[in-house]
Structure 1
Amino acid sequence: MKNFITLITILSVHLNFLAQTTHTINAGSYYYNPSSLTIDIGDSVVWINDGGFHDVNGDINSVTGQPYNNPETFDSPSTNVTGAVIFSYKFTVAGTYNYDCSVGSHAANGMIGTVIVEDNNTSIDELFSSFSFVTHNKNSNTINLNFIISENEASVALYNIEGKLIQANNIITKTGENNHILHLNKPLGKGIYIVSLNHGQQKTTKKLIVK
């Protein structure tokens, strides 16, 4: 089980790494090109100077004087070196980021831009689980399982985060959506647990956090 959890973690990190991309925005006389860019969370953006004196200001709107209130604030020094990197930034928080060039009247003349960061990373649950949800009821000492399955029989196993088996039960299921209440042999302490649903040759897992 330890090896299985480690494999999931490594694969998730690897997929996130592969998804990261570096995008380029060119800056020139009163423009950013593209002026609007949509990227994935974890991607980086590099602004290149096509000519002139420019910066990348994601802090205070140069026209209104009001904060942009972006998910994260960024601001770069200005440069007049043609072909130079004005600024480079890795976006790790999803949301919409507005920015402008704060040099002179550049922003007032239309030198503004937007970066939209979407959270499209594949999660561990999406990769390995047909569970809809797993919840713990402390009062009744049970775990409520909702899952989709194509078998008439399955087994449910509960592990702690170190991979030690706490409890295993065979259950009767139906093809399609199932709701099952797992009665625990003993109360669970606070921590992170792994619920494993075994059916046929397949195994799906779901993380359970007990607070």
Structure 2
Amino acid sequence: MSLPMIFLPAMPCDGRLYADQLDGLKDLVSPSVQVLDRKTFGDSAEALLASTSGSFILAGTAYGGCLAMEVLARAPERVSGLWLMNCQPGTHPNPSVVRETSLRIRRGEHEDVIAEFANNAIPADDIASRAAFIRMARDTGADTFARQSDATLTRADHWQTLSTASKVPTLLIWGEADQFVPVEVGTRIARLMPHARFESFQGCGYFPTLERPTLCTKIARDWLMSSVIS
């Protein structure tokens, strides 16, 4: 039986963020998606751990990558592989911005927040990816978006978690045009985890699997076959 691979979407996305990978990797792993929006990152991590047994591979983007690190911190022995994209291992640097974002979503400015998020997350010339993100964000809904925004305030510092994860096969993919989590964060993680494979894409923003789907799937296949399931 194939090893489970759990995809954790960015905020406020769903499984469509990983559509190409879910199809393109299914012959190697058993892929699934979990959209988690518990009150704290710890609660979401525990919910994920309770939902499955044994070992699994984790893939997470942004918010989802932070959740993946929280799971790794709590149950490193169960993580057979780790794929992180455009996520910040530190605590959130701007709590007041988070609180204002949550407030705006709840008071009816959901569409405005989505539009601003899209403008900052994805380069302006990638019209298709922006449109796909906006559809996901609308469908995910204001309640989930606000809860996920709230939960980012509970994000723990996981730089040490990563530095001690030398036995976990790791793939790092970064969009270099990301305005939220700059590529320097990715290169810092790569220096901390010299065993990891690091790839970065010029002109790509916050969502590599959405903006560069075919390339991400190819890299992930190579990584899985060479480092995780070989």
TMscore range, shorter length: under 0.3
More helix, by proportion: 2
Q: Provide TM-score, normalisation by structure 1.
A: 0.19
Between structure 1 and structure 2, the one with the greater Rg is 1
Instruction: Name the TM-score, length of structure 2 as normaliser.
Output: 0.18
Larger RCO, structures 1/2 (Cα 8 Å, 6+ apart): 2
